[in-house]
Amino acid sequence: MRFEKLYADPIIEDPGFPPESMAVVINSSGKNLYGVLYTAAGMGPHPSMILLHGFPGTERNLDMAHAFRRAGWNTLVFHYRGSWGSEGCFSFQNVLDDVKAAIEFVKSEEPARKYRIDRDNIVLVGHSMGGFAALLTAADDMDIKAYAAIAPFDFGAIGENSEGDDKALRFLQGMFKECIVPLKGNTVEELINEAMANGNKWSFINNAEKLAKHKLLLIAAKRDNLSIPELHYYPLVNKMLKYNTENFEYKMIDSDHSFQDKRILLTEIIEDWLEKQVQQKSNIK
């Protein structure tokens, strides 16, 4: 079976290095971000993934975290500033800065040694707002292996649209009002203003040329009523294909925003792509 390792419990060949889940604290601008690092079985070092949740983070994709860990990946899941108990105030800019802090954490010497992290094989995978953060982080040229965005939400495009479109503005107001409950330090109006103010800078298509420099997987859901493909997926795909046909892969899955009925397929697509990234590194060596 091609993806057997995703679903089979690991054989513990070395009892001194079992799979574990460890609470971690990441410092971001002096604030503590709380997370869990799922470490793979074996001495390692292991390729490692930072798995970014969406807005506000009700869906943390922990089923995938465990599956990727069984496949040999260390997987870090954490909460951004001001969300779900992490210190500080929530904002979209803080999310972007917190992702960079998480990358610095896994690439640092002490965490890499303690958690058996292969610092040459680190990938960033994000869902919804996490996909937004993964794409904008890639555009900033962080020195990691590859990036994957799952049903990414283009806060830049929606921010731009909301300035002159009452329907788009009402959509944002309704979504932010529902999602802001577990967040602290910000208001619906402030988040909308932040998206509007950064619309041009954050828009996916405006970052396409920068994204083309990196290995990137983009996955969308056909029945997604939040990250609607016509706004959040197809414009970026069409723009990316002008710059990058070798390092860019894109998939459309017949599912909803959280892939509720396609979790296994989603995991298999990502794992297949991840294996190619590691293999490419091995070939270079």
Residue 103 in this model has a pLDDT that exceeds 60: yes
Q: Which amino acid, one-letter code, is at 231?
A: L
> Does some domain include residue 116?
yes
> Does some domain include residue 185?
no
**Average pLDDT of the residues in 243-271:** 94
Q: Using CA atoms, how far apart are residues 34 and 219, in angstroms rounded to an integer?
A: 27
pLDDT in the model for residue 279:
61
pLDDT in the model for residue 162:
86
> Does some domain include residue 169?
no
**Average pLDDT of the residues in 98-125:** 97
Q: Using CA atoms, how far apart are residues 143 and 273, in angstroms rounded to an integer?
A: 19
Strand partners, 21: 38
Helical (H) or strand (E) element with 22: strand 20-28
Four-CA torsion 225, 135, 239, 199, nearest 10 degrees: 70
Residue 284 in this model has a pLDDT that exceeds 80: no
Confidence band of 285 (pLDDT split at 50, 70, 90) = very low
What domain range is 32 assigned to? Answer: 4-155+201-278
> Does some domain include residue 64?
yes
Q: Which of 50-54, 135-139, 153-157, 272-276 has the lowest mean pLDDT?
A: 272-276
pLDDT in the model for residue 278:
80
Strand partners, 51: 77, 125
Report the CATH number at residue 119. Answer: 3.40.50.1820
| Residues of the chain above pLDDT 70, percent | 97
What's the total number of domains in the chain?
1
The answer to whether 188 and 176 are in contact (CB under 8 A) is yes
